[in-house]
């Protein structure tokens, strides 16, 4: 895949993935097209044999793996992880409320969005809807309204003397999206109509996981088009690179990717990295004794975007660790183990970058600022697998519209391809010999 193909493919994936459910569906479509076989958690797998497989949980998390000689012949796994969710706003169950001729949507804040960036955006709705069919069976569908339906209007500068000073945002009262004027529509009827457009035949809506999203499509920005401005670059950029690398590599060795949901709210869920998903899948394939040995011969690359140096806020970075956009993937290090990287795993990743012919950089948070975390340390703790935390450098993380240099995403794809093709000797962490 050349650079331009990569960019077009990434733009399509971002546009088609307004929610974690859609990102998972997009990954499934690509895996299906590349011959991966779907396994269902509800069924007995037996020995699935040599091949390429994927499993989903909650329609929002996915594990895909390639076992060239089947589970019995697998000696080590090239593992990589990312997360499908992004911060934003989720609709409350009783979502519509009318007052003074305005119909607004009740929303909950999901994760830690940069709240100020959500004002005055053209927002649409997307997610998963559970409905009853004519036979009385429950069905699930993804919906995406695509067109702008709602807006969170700012308060005029003239009415807010604090607007450009120490402005605070009340999460309950200031961020209620405006849906329409006049009489409140029947929200369930709106959803039914939308579902029927997709040739389904629902009789009743019984539940939904719907999110607000910015309807502005991703764009190439910058004098030379080197920047990518889009929603959810954290962490769909990584999800995309992992799925592309696994599914399109002809020389792929035994490898596995895990795309977890709920990273932005702490990962403690059935579909999150603190849940049992990855362990459950591995335990179906390997006995406990084999699994322990396998993990000791495996490496996990946890990919989640990193903070690039912001030219307007240089002082927010540790002076000797200032990852630049277009400088290649970033290895994240933290003494407090907010990142799982060790000297050994950092060296392994640097070696892979060298093999792939891409530069790499390192990031350490300033001592006077709190360090974020990601799925790497969680999965490393759960499974005991050696882990390196890495990510594409970006600006404006958790803004409704984030900025990155798309060539860094292409570089991550190259490294992941080198990783999935890597020899087992590279995977075994070097150990001190006495
Ligand atoms: Zn992230």
Task: Using the mean position of ligand 1's atoms as its centre, give its distance from the Cα of residue 302 in Å.
Answer: 10
Rounded to the nearest angstrom, the distance between the alpha carbon of 264 and the centre of ligand 1 is 7
Region 387-393: mean pLDDT is 98
Determine the pLDDT at residue 427: 84
Q: How far apart are CA 125 and CA 19, in angstroms?
A: 9
- Length of the chain equals 434
How far apart (Å, rounded) are the C-alpha atoms in residues 11 and 217?
9
Q: Which tens digit of pLDDT belongs to each residue from 21-68? A: 999 999 999 999 999 999 999 999 988 999 999 999 999 999 999 999
pLDDT at site 249: 82
Ligand 1: centre distance to CA 94 (Å): 29
DSSP 55-90: EEETTTEEEEEEETTTGGG----EEEEEE---SEEE
When pLDDT is cut at 50, 70 and 90, the band that residue 200 belongs to is: confident
Question: What mean pLDDT do residues 273-298 have?
Answer: 96
Tell me the CA–centroid distance for residue 307 and ligand 1, in Å. Answer: 10
pLDDT tens sequence across 322-342: 999 999 999 999 999 999 999
Neighbours of ion ligand 1 (CB under 5 A): 234-235, 304
Calculate how far, in angstroms, residue 50's C-alpha sits from the geometric centre of ligand 1.
33
Q: How many CB atoms lie within 10 A of CB 314?
A: 10
Q: How far is the CA of 220 from the centre of ligand 1 (A)?
A: 21
Task: Go through the domains of the chain in sequence order and give each one's CATH number.
Answer: 3-86+231-427 (3.40.630.10), 88-214 (2.30.250.10)
pLDDT tens for 344-367 read 999 999 999 999 999 999 999 999
Q: Could you count the other beta carbons within 10 Å of the beta carbon of residue 198?
A: 11
- What was the pLDDT predicted at 162? 85
> Measured in angstroms, how far is the CA atom of residue 102 from the centroid of ligand 1?
35
CB 301 within 8 Å of CB 388: yes
What whole-number distance in Å separates Cα of residue 81 and Cα of residue 349?
14
Q: How many whole angstroms from 235 Cα to the centroid of ligand 1?
A: 5
Omega into 51 within 30° of 0, i.e. cis?
no
Distance from the alpha carbon of residue 258 to the mean position of ligand 1, in angstroms: 14
Is residue 234 within 8 Å of 304, Cβ to Cβ? Answer: yes
Distance 172 CA to ligand 1 centre (A): 25
pLDDT at 245: 97
**To the nearest whole number, what is the mean pLDDT of the chain?**
96
Q: Tens of pLDDT along 399-426? A: 999 999 999 999 999 999 999 999 988 8
Q: How far apart are alpha carbons 195 and 192 in whole angstroms? A: 5
Alpha-carbon distance of 434 to 431, in angstroms, equals: 10
Using alpha carbons only, give the angle 297, 338, 65 rounded to the nearest 5 degrees.
40
Q: Give the distance (Å) from ligand 1 centre to CA of residue 33.
A: 27
Residues of the chain with pLDDT > 90, as a percent, come to 92
Span from the CA of 374 to the centroid of ligand 1 (angstroms): 7
Q: Distance, CA 110 to ligand 1 centroid (Å)?
A: 13
Ligand 1 center–CA 409 separation, angstroms = 14
Please report, for the chain, how many H helices and E strands are present, in that order: 10, 20
Q: How far is the CA of 340 from the centre of ligand 1 (A)?
A: 15
H/E element, 26: helix 20-33
Other C-beta atoms closer than 10 Å to the C-beta of 181 total 8
């Amino acid at each position: 895949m050349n650079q331009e193909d990569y960019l077009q493919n990434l733009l399509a994936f971002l546009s088609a993935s307004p929610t974690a459910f859609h990102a998972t569906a997009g990954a499934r479509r690509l895996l299906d097209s590349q011959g991966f076989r779907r396994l269902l958690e509800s069924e007995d797998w037996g020995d699935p044999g040599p091949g390429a497989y994927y499993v989903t949980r909650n329609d929002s998390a996915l594990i895909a793996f390639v076992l060239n000689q089947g589970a019995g012949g697998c000696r080590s796994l090239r593992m990589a992880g990312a997360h499908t969710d992004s911060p934003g706003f989720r609709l409350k169950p009783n979502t519509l409320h009318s007052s003074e001729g305005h119909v607004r949507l009740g929303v909950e804040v999901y994760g830690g969005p940069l709240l100020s960036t959500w004002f005055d955006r053209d927002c649409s709705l997307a997610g998963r809807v559970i409905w009853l069919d004519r036979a009385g069976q429950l069905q699930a569908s993804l919906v995406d309204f695509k067109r702008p339906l709602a807006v969170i209007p700012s308060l005029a500068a003239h009415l807010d003397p604090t607007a450009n000073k120490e402005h605070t945002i009340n999460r309950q009262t200031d961020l209620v999206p405006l849906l329409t004027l006049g009489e409140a529509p029947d929200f369930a009827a709106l959803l039914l109509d939308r579902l029927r457009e997709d040739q389904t035949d629902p009789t009743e809506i019984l539940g939904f996981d719907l999110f607000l999203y910015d309807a502005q499509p991703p764009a190439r920005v910058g004098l030379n088009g080197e920047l990518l401005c889009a929603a959810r670059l954290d962490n769909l950029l990584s999800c995309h690179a992992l799925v592309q690398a696994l599914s399109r590599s002809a020389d792929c060795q035994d490898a596995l990717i895990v795309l977890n949901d709920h990273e932005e709210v702490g990962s403690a869920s059935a579909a999150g990295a603190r849940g049992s998903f990855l362990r459950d899948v591995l335990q179906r394939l390997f006995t406990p004794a084999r699994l322990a040995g396998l993990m000791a011969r495996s490496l996990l690359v946890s990919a989640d975007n990193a903070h690039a140096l912001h030219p307007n806020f240089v002082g927010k970075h540790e002076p000797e660790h200032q990852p630049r956009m277009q400088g290649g993937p970033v290895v994240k290090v933290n003494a407090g183990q907010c990142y799982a990287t060790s000297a050994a795993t950092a060296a392994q990743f640097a070696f892979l970058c060298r093999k792939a012919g891409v530069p790499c950089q390192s990031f350490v948070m300033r001592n006077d600022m709190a360090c974020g975390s990601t799925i790497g340390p969680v999965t490393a703790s759960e499974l005991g697998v050696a882990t390196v935390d890495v990510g594409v450098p970006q600006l404006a993380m958790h803004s409704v519209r984030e900025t990155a240099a798309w060539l860094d995403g292409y570089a991550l794809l190259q490294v992941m391809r080198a990783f999935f093709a890597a020899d087992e000797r590279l995977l075994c962490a070097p150990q001190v010999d006495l």
